[in-house]
A and B are shown apart, each in its own frame.
Chain A
Amino acid sequence: DQQVKQNSPSLSVQEGRISILNCDYTNSMFDYFLWYKKYPAEGPTFLISISSIKDKNEDGRFTVFLNKSAKHLSLHIVPSQPGDSAVYFCAASASQFYFGTGTSLTVIP
Chain B
Amino acid sequence: NAGVTQTPKFQVLKTGQSMTLQCAQDMNHNSMYWYRQDPGMGLRLIYYSASEGTTDKGEVPNGYNVSRLNKREFSLRLESAAPSQTSVYFCATSSSGRPKEYEQYFGPGTRLTVT
Chain A positions within 8 Å of B, measured between CB atoms, are 2, 4, 6, 32, 34, 36, 41-46, 49, 51, 89, 91, 93, 96-102
Contact = CB atoms under 8 A, between A and B. Distances in A.
Contact of B58 (A42, A49, A96): A96
Contacts of A96: 45, 48, 58-59
Contact of A46 (B4, B90, B104): B104
A43 B59 contact: no
Given A43-B92, A45-B106, A46-B103, A89 B43 contact: yes
A43 B4 contact: yes
B33 interface: yes
B42 A100 contact: yes
Interface in B1-43: 4, 33, 35, 40-43
A46 B42 contact: no
B90 A43 contact: yes
A99 B102 CA distance: 13
B99 A32 contact: yes
